[in-house]
Structure 1
Amino acid sequence: MKSVAKIPLAEFLSQPNIEASPAWELINGQALEKPMPTLFHSRLQRNLVNYINSHTERFEAVQELRCIVPPYSPVPDISVIACDRLGDKDGPLEGAPDWLIEIRSPDQSTLDLQNKILHCLSNGTQLAWLIDITRQQIWVWLGDDLPLVCSAEDILPTLGDLPKLMVNAVMAMTPRQS
């Protein structure tokens, strides 16, 4: 079995190409390039960020924000962060997002995404969603609880003062919005 050299976080963060599109993440000591998003993935990401930001002032949803959660450096599809945690300087988020949202691409490993989610949950993330467009499901982690697999008219837990949101409503964000 071939061993893979692990990269220290500081060395990874000094690499010049990690912010290229698609971004690179450091997960479990390995530099991994995120897959290019599909059309539905991109639409869902944009529409969900817009929805969250238009319904809460306590949190801000940001796409593809690098987080520093030692020894990892994940770049969640969507990071939702309490506004009082966001400073005035540009750069990555120091720490895990309050709410992490990943949208599974067809060629992504569910296990790898869950590993990233679990690391963030163990380092301060309160809520995580793993959206699977193909299966029309959303896996939800809330605190230390085991994940729930939600579908159809299941109401999703959120942070802030968002109106009730069902899985069907999230999946409806993939077609073109007029």
Structure 2
Amino acid sequence: MSAAQQLQELYTYADYAKWPEGEHWELIDGVAYAMAAPSRQHQDVVLELGSQILQHLRGKPCRPYVAPFDVRLPRQQEADDKVDTTVQPDISVICERSKLDDKGCRGAPDWIIEVVSPSSAIMDMEKKRRLYERHGVKEYWIVHPSDRWLMVYTLGEDGKYGQFQLFGLDEPATVGLFPELSIDWAFLNDDQIG
């Protein structure tokens, strides 16, 4: 798909499902966005975070998933083929098993983590933040491992994200949805990461 096609056409999950498996795309409001291949550091961070979260949630009703994992975000109750937003967050935690199917997740995950890459920073911090707020993602984390900061958005009772909280990655970060879970960032000091 050329950049010109991207600007001229709007797509749905029906189109997305037919695209070649080796290509990675996200759809936001019908617009297709090519996803760059993640760096080794990015993958190391996603794997470590996913592992910590999985260990904590083992035996509990919530499940973590790592990209590539399709999250379809319908506007209302339209059929999957008509859904115009499908994203692949780095990590998605879903607590309502009814949202899970063989295609991935239909509806908002409870917690999403995006690990910032140079090519994804604006998308993660602006477009996806607004998207996740609109669809009711309860907690949204943006992790910047090389600059060593974490930005946390929490959905308020008004259905909006309030002011973000900014944390350094020098000490563990407590998860709002799971207060007994603290993410330990010590792995970032490992010579194998970064």
Fold shared, TM-score > 0.5 on shorter chain: yes
For 1:24, give the aligned amino acid. Answer: W
Return closer, same or farther for 1:121/1:85 CA change in 2, 3 Å cut-off. farther
Q: Which residue does the alignment assign to 1:69?
A: 73
1:170 to 2:171 alignment: no
Counterpart CA distance in 2 for 1:117 and 1:85 is: 24
Counterpart CA distance in 2 for 1:35 and 1:174 is: 26
Q: Where do 1:1-178 residues align within 5 Å?
A: 4-17=7-20, 19-20=21-22, 23-56=24-57, 57-64=60-67, 65-70=69-74, 71-82=84-95, 84-85=97-98, 87=100, 89-108=101-120, 110-114=121-125, 115-143=127-155, 144-151=161-168, 152-153=170-171, 155-160=173-178, 162-165=180-183, 169-170=184-185, 172-173=187-188, 175=190, 176=192
Counterpart CA distance in 2 for 1:135 and 1:43 is: 15
1:172, distance to aligned residue in structure 2 (A) = 2.4
Q: Contact 1:66 / 1:75 at 8 angstroms: preserved in 2?
A: yes
Structure 1 gaps of 5+ residues are: none
Counterpart CA distance in 2 for 1:111 and 1:67 is: 20
Structure 2 gaps of 5+ residues are: 75-83, 156-160
Q: Contact 1:40 / 1:174 at 8 angstroms: preserved in 2?
A: no
Q: Contact 1:77 / 1:103 at 8 angstroms: preserved in 2?
A: yes
For 1:148, give the aligned amino acid. Answer: Q
SS at match of 1:172: helix
Q: Which residue does the alignment assign to 2:79?
A: none
Q: Contact 1:55 / 1:161 at 8 angstroms: preserved in 2?
A: no
For 2:71, give the aligned amino acid. Answer: C
- What's the CA shift string for 1:47-74, capped at 9, x where partnerless? 1111101112232110111111133211
TM-score, scaled relative to structure 2: 0.75
TM-score, scaled relative to structure 1: 0.81
Counterpart CA distance in 2 for 1:55 and 1:16 is: 35
For 2:185, give the aligned amino acid. Answer: V
For 1:46, give the aligned amino acid. Answer: L
Q: Contact 1:48 / 1:173 at 8 angstroms: preserved in 2?
A: no
- What's the CA shift string for 1:102-147, capped at 9, x where partnerless? 0111232x22112113212221210001111121111111002121
- What's the CA shift string for 1:74-93, capped at 9, x where partnerless? 11011111153454x41121
